[in-house]
Amino acid sequence: MATQTRTQLQAKRLAGAAGELFKEGKVDEAVEKFSEALEIISSEDVVNEAGIKIKKGILLNRSAALIKIGEDEIVVEDCTEVLEMDPGNTKALFRRAMSLVNLDRWQEAVRRRPRMLQGPPLPAASHPAPTVPRH
């Protein structure tokens, strides 16, 4: 496990407090705490695996809270930032697509949809597919 910096630990504590506020239904206060946590994470804190994981978690949790209060523009920004770190993150892909639809940015949402629906390849069939007899 990578060692966490003092700033990373502080951001994690703030994010934990924000998560509790969110669970209590105090969404606006949770967004403020998540934002505070993001403000203290510097670019130096996101160079290791631990820092990336912390920042992604804060951005994803803040995006969930922002959706609840209709701040879709910021959701798109947060999720795009997560996707820069983790291009296949399904939560970020889904939340960004939802927010794009909410913002009536349908074309952008549709353009990004195939990527969102991509998944792992299906396993090859262990037996041949049935054939339909031709008459």
User: pLDDT by residue for the chain (135 residues), tens digit each?
Assistant: 557 788 888 999 999 999 999 999 999 999 999 999 999 886 676 778 888 999 999 999 999 999 999 999 999 999 999 999 999 999 999 999 999 999 999 888 877 654 555 555 545 555 555 555 665
- The alpha carbon of residue 34 and the mean position of all alpha carbons in its chain are separated, in whole angstroms, by 14
Domain-located, residue 124? no
Non-local (6+) Cβ contacts of 34 within 8 A are 14, 15, 18, 58, 61, 62, 65
Task: Quote the CA–CA distance of 12 and 93 in Å, as a whole number.
Answer: 23
| Domains in the chain, number | 1
29, part of any domain? yes
In a domain, 133, yes or no: no
CATH number of residue 92's parent domain:
1.25.40.10
CB-count burial class (<10 Å; 0-12, 13-18, 19+) for 88: exposed
In a domain, 77, yes or no: yes
In a domain, 23, yes or no: yes
What is the residue range of 47's domain? Answer: 6-117
In a domain, 130, yes or no: no
Q: For residue 51, what are its two tokens?
A: 């820092």
Query: Looking at the domain assignment, is residue 22 inside a domain?
Result: yes
Residue 129 forms part of a structural domain? no
Rounded to two decimals, what is the model's pTM? 0.79
